[in-house]
Amino acid sequence: MPNETSGVSPSSQKKDFSAFYLPAAILIAGAMIAIGLFYGLAGTKSAAVADPNQPRNVNAKDVKTDGVPFIGNENAPLTMAYWFDYQCPFCKAIDVGHPQIPTEPAMPMIIKDYVDTGKLKIYFKDYAFLGPDSTVAAEYKHAVWELYPAKFYEWHEAMFHAQDEEHGGFGDEASILELIKKIPGMDANRLKALVAQKKSQYDAAIAADQAEGASMGIQGTPGFIIGTKSIDGAVPPAQFKAAIDSQL
């Protein structure tokens, strides 16, 4: 009697799956080839793309420093180049600390133990990639250095203290000018005029800094080259101390 639900007898329900063997084998073979290609290409990654897990062949002496803001003794035996973005929360964590990033800020230790003692100078390089506010802040960085070099680091730290969210809030021109008005000895109107006058020149310098950083393996912020060592990200002060001490 035929099966009431299928319309075929139970004996005929023994299906012949041989028709599916070849397509299944092709799918399996294709998957194996794809996996092989993935690992093969991973093993031959272009040298133009830095691997953050591998040491990089870098030297701070190769970093372009003409017109770049710096702190420390010009004749200090060791140089650190620091690529950053004023909108970057991890840069804030390194400079002044961030309430949501559990990393002790390294910059106070670096300045106290190495910059103030004449052992290290720090160059502040642009990596303004988080939006228009990043570019505006970098433009003002150049203007502040040009007009008020002695006030640069005070302004730099004030910028990070004022930082809030990445996209929105503090960071546009109006808010930066309001911050400048609170720093004695700085003229917000003069700085605004200089940024307007030299915007294209500053933008070219900003782009050049980022391109240079990328060529040296800097893929985001913060990024550091200290002598012949590189550090990526908001790492603890001890990691900076080890990199510096090993070269002094």
Q: 8-26: per-residue pLDDT in tens?
A: 333 333 334 344 333 333 3
Place of tokens 């007009």: 147
The per-residue pLDDT for 212 is: 97
Distance CA 217, CA 62 (A): 13
- Segment 211-240 mean pLDDT: 96
Reply yes or no on whether the pLDDT at 49 is more than 60.
no
pLDDT, one tens digit per residue, over 92-126 is 999 999 999 999 999 999 999 999 999 999 999 99
Task: For 180-205, give the DSSP string.
Answer: HHTSTT--HHHHHHHHHHHHHHHHHH
pLDDT, one tens digit per residue, over 54-107 is 567 999 999 999 999 999 999 999 999 999 999 999 999 999 999 999 999 999
Distance CA 133, CA 136 (A): 5
Place of tokens 């203290």: 161
Distance CA 238, CA 113 (A): 12
Task: Using CB atoms within 10 Å of the CB of residue 57, give its burial: 0 to 12 exposed, 13 to 18 middle, 19+ buried.
Answer: exposed
Instruction: List 123's β-bridge partners, or say none.
Output: 70, 81
Q: Count Cβ atoms below 10 Å from residue 120 Cβ, excluding itself.
A: 25
Reply yes or no on whether the pLDDT at 43 is more than 90.
no
Place of tokens 């099966």: 3
Instruction: List 232's β-bridge partners, or say none.
Output: 223
pLDDT tier, 193 (very low <50, low <70, confident <90, very high otherwise): very high
Strands 120-126 and 70-71: antiparallel
Q: Count Cβ atoms below 10 Å from residue 227 Cβ, excluding itself.
A: 20
Instruction: List 82's β-bridge partners, or say none.
Output: 124, 224
The per-residue pLDDT for 165 is: 67
pLDDT tier, 42 (very low <50, low <70, confident <90, very high otherwise): very low
Domains and CATH numbers, the chain: 10-43 (no CATH), 60-245 (3.40.30.10)
Distance CA 70, CA 186 (A): 18
